[in-house]
Amino acid sequence: MSIEIVRVADKEAVAAHSAEVVAAVCNATSRTVHVALAGGTTPERCHELLAPLVSDWGHVHLWLSDERAVGPDDDDSNFKMVRRSLLDGIQIPAGNVHRVLGERGADDAAALYQAEVLDAVVAGADGLPLFDVIMCGMGPDGHTCSLFPGHPEIHVDDRLVVGLHDSPKPPPDRITFTLPLLHAAKRLMLLVAGEEKRDAMAKVAAGPDPAVPASMLSLGALEVVVDGAAAP
């Protein structure tokens, strides 16, 4: 368990710093690297800045730490955002892009994605799939991925990916990584920008509390990249 907090000037700097971290991980090796991207406007900008920073995408596998239960062309699709912000600008083998099949519905899509993770991502010492980097955003209510305050998904410890049908933020049907998979990652990044995140960010800095899902990330090796407006 650890938390490292990197303070930078503004939202653009959060995205830029995070892109540099992810690019450094990808550029440091030619072996397979697994990166889970995130939804939200801060990660979206990070994806744009990341595109030209990685010298060779051939060994990089891309995933999403949460998705909406919609098809890839729906405006609510995180994959659609990733396609626009990153995939359209890079050369990457199609087999390296791991899309959540949201159009299958939240529960089937989650089960299929978990199976794909287990198949493709080699397990670490704790027996859980070891992502090189997982990126997460945070909402003003302290939610991260699609783990929302007061919702049961935060307590799931027997599955790596779950579906939910009652997200308080639309759309209601979603698919999300769970804490065991997030905690297993070599590097777990939380991108936080904006004054409306200040209270939740203070709770993240205070330590793990199940009422604040993003704070539970610090039970893994959490790196928070936060701007001046959100910094506690």
Ligand X SMILES: O=C(O)[C@H](O)[C@@H](O)[C@H](O)[C@H](O)COP(=O)(O)O
Distance CA 140, CA 194 (A): 9
139 is a site residue for ligand X (CB under 6 A)? yes
Q: Which is nearer to ligand X, 18 or 114 (CB)?
A: 18
Report the relative pairing of strands 33-37 and 161-164 from DSSP bridges: unpaired
176 is a site residue for ligand X (CB under 6 A)? no
Distance CA 47, CA 232 (A): 26
DSSP 60: E
102 is a site residue for ligand X (CB under 6 A)? no
The residue type of 79 is F
Burial degree of 80 (CB within 10 A; 0-12, 13-18, 19+): middle
Q: For ligand X, which residue has the nearest CB?
A: 40
213 is a site residue for ligand X (CB under 6 A)? no
Among 46-54, 97-105, 119-127, 134-142, which window interacts with ligand X (CB under 6 A)? 134-142
Residues 6 or more apart from 116 whose CB is under 8 A from it?
98
Distance CA 225, CA 6 (A): 5
Q: Which is nearer to ligand X, 138 or 162 (CB)?
A: 138
Q: Which residue has the tokens 């998979």?
A: 181
| Smallest distance, ligand X to C-beta of residue 191, A | 6
Binders of ligand X among 143-162, rule CB under 6 A? none
Q: Which is nearer to ligand X, 138 or 161 (CB)?
A: 138
Q: Find residue 64's DSSP bridge partners.
A: 37
Binding residues for ligand X, rule CB under 6 A, total 10
Binders of ligand X among 29-58, rule CB under 6 A? 38-42
Task: Decide: 184 and 131 in contact? Cβ < 8 Å.
Answer: yes
Among 47-55, 95-103, 125-133, 137-145, which window interacts with ligand X (CB under 6 A)? 137-145
Q: Which is nearer to ligand X, 165 or 169 (CB)?
A: 169
Backbone angles phi, psi at 197, to 5 degrees: -100, 0
| Smallest distance, ligand X to C-beta of residue 16, A | 14
Q: Which is nearer to ligand X, 213 or 220 (CB)?
A: 213
137 is a site residue for ligand X (CB under 6 A)? yes
Contacts to ligand X by CB under 6 A? 38-42, 137-139, 169, 194
